[in-house]
Amino acid sequence: MIMSAVDSTFFTLNQVATLIWQAADGRTPLSDIVTGKICEEFAVDADQAGRDAEQFVDDLSRHGILLVSERPITDSAASPPEGQ
């Protein structure tokens, strides 16, 4: 289970959602998580798995639980410049 600190919404994670949550490292694209983890572990269609994963990520994002970015988070982007 995870909870939104913004609105106290609880999400109960099934096995697939848990796999996405654990793999969401800020660097790995969702499509890679779907094809490299979900489709390998579960007998599911890649297109359907991708749509379901996008819906799950969108739900978490709308509740402030997960940040969605078009670009990977890099160590240099996550760290403030030296001296600050």
pLDDT per position as a tens digit, 23-73: 999 899 999 999 999 999 998 999 999 999 999 999 999 888 888 888 877
Is residue 73 one of the residues assigned to a domain?
no
Q: For the chain, what is the domain count?
A: 1
> What is residue 84's predicted lDDT score, i.e. its pLDDT?
47
**36 part of a folded domain:** yes
pLDDT score for 5? 85
Backbone φ/ψ region at 45: left (φ over 0), alpha (ψ -120 to 50), beta: beta
Domain that holds residue 11: 2-68
- Locate all alpha helices (DSSP H) within the chain, ordered by sequence: 15-23, 30-33, 39-41, 46-62, 75-78
Beta bridge partners of 10: 3
Assess if residue 75 is contained within a domain. no
Say if 74 falls within a structural domain: no
Model confidence, pTM: 0.77
Q: Would you place residue 76 in the very low, low, confident or very high pLDDT band (cuts 50, 70, 90)?
A: low
